[in-house]
Structure 1
Amino acid sequence: MVDDDLVVVKEADRFLRDVRLAQGRAETTTKAYAEGVSLFLRWSSRTGRDWRAAARDMGLFMVWLRWTPGNGGQRRTVIPGPGSRPVRGDSRINKVLTAVRMFLSHATVNRTVPGWGLEQVYELGDVRDLPAEARGEDGGMRVRLRARHRLQEPETDIDRASNEEIVAMFLACQSARDRLTVLLISRVGLRPGQATGLHRTDPHLMMDSRPLGCDAEGAHLHVIRRQNENNAWSKSKKSWVMPVDFLVVQGFDQYALERHDRLGPGGSDFLLVNLFRPPFGAPITPAAIGELFEALSRRAGLDRLITPRMGRHAMASNVADAGGRLDEVQALLGHKHAGSARPYLHPKESRLRDAVDRVPSPRAIEREVGR
């Protein structure tokens, strides 16, 4: 990362390298952090502040973020007032502030920023004000940090794709590869980066995989985090086994025939590759899945655009509708905590009706007690 004079900002460069390599963050995450830190450094430079001591004016930075474009165009500011629209929304500002806090914390650890800087961006506390159950079993003292500067974002719901919409998109596919892609997202629940990061050795579609050195039962996929040439990246740091059903197995079989017909035994080791445009055999990118879902939504004549994320939500909701517990949904989505799976659950109205109907009437309860 360089400043306005094209001089490398060593601390920022070291921070981003550590995020990418030592912490193992995705390239997209590292890029987002880089954009946030660059805005902070630009604001510090243009307002005559030393970034090492600028944490005390974080509130002014938030105002600058809301009303100042970051493209360096002729119009450097937007004047607040009736009819004026902020340059950045609350969500974007919060993401920038998160990157800046991490950058300043990293610089504090490396003694580039004075220790008092953390007190400007975090409220410092300890676990003594927490309930005993939340303090940990070792009884030791722990310091807690809470961000001082954070905007209240409106809650936004991510809708699930309905089964009818997914079927319509599936029928609108013009190749076995596209049909398998739709299944991997909406029936297996993979993220685009996980689907495009699959290698041909990751699917184990036999009932007994022990000859492959794998003890997992039944047909399944191995979702593995790798550094891939197509920038496909699994968000989950851990690897896990994902069971698949007979529809997905059929999708794999049909795609294998189509791929061999187009490429023979050639092509890259990636599972999903270019079959219909050059470079033939090269892995498709995560962005290509988003483009595919957009095209299928139009081709199927749907009333709205279905995104890969909505397909992943559909998979989680279908598991829950079929009686799956939260810990099962968590494991299938590759989440670390069970609570992470809750936003993915969108129960059918019929399931909600059944839940209400299962509640016994007061008379039934009275008769049961009378016995």
Structure 2
Amino acid sequence: MIRFRQDGSANAVLGTVTQFLLFGVGPGWVSEQVAMSLAKPKFLRFLPDGAAGEGGGARVVTERTLKFATTDPGIEYFTPEQVELMIRMARNARDRFLIVLMRATGMRIGETLGLRRADVHFPADSRQLGCHVEGSHVHVHRRRDNVNNALAKSRKSRTIPVSADTAGYYRDYQWERETVPEAADSDMVFVNLFRAPLGRAMSYPNAKQLFDRLAKWGETVARPHMLRHTAATEWIRAGVPRDVVQELLGHEWPGSLKPYLHTTDRERREAVERVAAGVR
């Protein structure tokens, strides 16, 4: 059976092969003529401040010539109607809260599954908890060891506000959780309530199974990271300043927001019509 790879995967393989062949020039395994056909110098016009190097040498990099032409498919996100459908299709309060929380905060799945109960501050005033952040919020901590191996990708901790509606879904989940005695001793927010081992922290495979079910029932594509994309897209379209969106998502570099700065046909049409109306 012949296996065909996507262009992106094929490019990754070609990149590894190219680097190996270039390495082979030193020991004499590969001729310099072959190496010159695999890569060429490329001059970078734009660099971050201080990155040009002495004499501007850092502006010249090596670009490989053996690669597939690919297009950027853009990010995938849910419409509000799709999110509401997933919430309705979820079979229990825990899954509904997970969907609502990820959509409301833009957290990664690793950050979500790694939440401890002490990280969730949903009272209007959290000073009695020793926290001086105003309003309902969650604390997302930088990388730490979790029993379910959930990993927070961000290198720094951050606080994300949540709405009263999100807090309401959490209360529903807490009532559901209290019916499972095995869950009482776990300090993790998301735990197994419906299959053994009861009370154990929810894992990546558990979350994947949830979204696989939602995708099947809704006859669409559904992955956890699409909720993060949805949150970012909605914030930007609502006019939230980009530096605020960057902080909410836990991005270190402003350029990380670029994939979310997409437009729709309707938005482009409205922009043209607004200008046309002003001309008249």
SS of residue matched to 2:97: helix
Unaligned runs of 5+ in 1: 1-77, 79-84, 109-113, 365-371
Instruction: Give the alignment partner of residue 218 of structure 1, picking from 117, 120, 135.
Output: 135
Q: 104, 107, 110: which is aligned to 1:193?
A: 110
Aligned residues: 268
How big is the shift at 1:222? 1.2
Q: Which residue matches 1:143?
A: 58
Give the TM-score normalised by the residue count of structure 1: 0.61
2: distance between equivalents of 1:183 and 1:237?
Answer: 24
Please tell me whether the aligned partners of residues 333 and 341 of structure 1 are also in contact (alpha carbons under 8 angstroms).
Answer: no
Would the alpha carbon gap of residues 86 and 293 (structure 1) be closer, same or farther in structure 2, given more than 3 Å must change? closer
Please report how far the alpha carbon of residue 281 of structure 1 lies from its aligned counterpart in structure 2 after TM superposition.
0.8
1: CA distance, partners of 2:51 / 2:221: 51
**Cα distance in structure 2, aligned partners of 1:192 and 1:226:** 15
Return the offset for 1:198. 0.8
In the superposition, relative to structure 1, how do residues 103 and 334 fare at CA in structure 2: closer, same or farther (>3 Å)? farther
Quick one: which of 328, 333, 351 aligns to 2:249? 333
Distance 1:304 1:340 in 2: 27
Q: How far apart are 1:360 and its partner, in Å?
A: 5.4
The residue correspondences of 1:100-249 to structure 2 (distance < 5 A) are 134=47, 136-137=49-50, 140-141=53-54, 143=58, 145-148=61-64, 150-224=67-141, 225-249=143-167
1:41-60 to structure 2, matched below 5 A, reads none
Using the TM superposition, give the Cα deviation of residue 305 of structure 1 relative to its aligned residue in structure 2, in angstroms: 2.6
3-state secondary structure, aligned to 2:70: coil
Change (3 A) 1:124 1:307: same
Please tell me the residue identity of whatever aligns with 1:284: M
Q: Does residue 1:282 correspond to 2:200, yes or no?
A: yes
CA distance in 1, matches of 2:19, 2:171: 46
Task: Letter of the 1:214 partner, please give it.
Answer: C
**Judging changes above 3 Å, is the alpha-carbon distance between structure 1 residues 242 and 319 closer, same or farther for their aligned structure 2 residues?**
same
Q: Decide whether the 8 Å contact of 2:102 with 2:227 is kept in 1.
A: yes
Match of 1:305 in 2: 221
Q: Is the 8 A contact 1:268 1:282 kept in 2?
A: yes
- Residues 1:100 and 1:245: Cα distance change in structure 2 (over 3 Å): farther
CA distance in 2, matches of 1:97, 1:239: 37
State the partner residue of 1:292: 210
What SS does structure 2 have at the residue aligned with 1:241?
Answer: strand
Task: Tell me by how many angstroms 1:234 deviates.
Answer: 1.6
Structure 2: gaps of 5 or more residues:
none
Residue 138 of structure 1: how far off its partner (Å): 8.9
For the pair shown, the structure with the greater C-alpha radius of gyration is 1
Is the counterpart of residue 320 in structure 1 residue 236 in structure 2?
yes
Quick one: structure 1 residues 87 and 298, their matched pair in 2 at CA, closer, same or farther if it must change by over 3 Å? closer
> Contact 2:97–2:170 at 8 Å: present in 1 too?
yes
**Higher RCO, 1 vs 2 (CA within 8 Å, ≥6 residues apart):** 2
| Secondary structure, counterpart of 2:159 in structure 1 | strand
Alpha-carbon distance in 2 for matches of 1:102, 1:331: 36
CA contact (8 A) 1:273 1:283 kept: yes
Residues 321, 347 of structure 1: 8 Å contact kept: no
| Superposed displacement of residue 140, structure 1 | 4.8
Residue identity opposite 1:343 in structure 2: P
Name segments (4+ residues, structure 1) moved above 6 Å.
97-104, 114-117, 119-125
* 1:343 matches 2:256: no
1:118-171 CA distances to partner (integer Å, 9 max, x unpaired)? x9798778xxx656x746359852636445365433322333211111111101
1:221 is aligned with what amino acid? V
Tell me how far apart the structure 1 counterparts of residues 12 and 186 of structure 2 sit (CA, whole Å).
36
Q: TM-score, normalising length from structure 2?
A: 0.78
- Return closer, same or farther for 1:210/1:95 CA change in 2, 3 Å cut-off: farther
- Alpha-carbon separation, structure 2, partners of 1:99 and 1:217: 50
Match of 1:261 in 2: 179
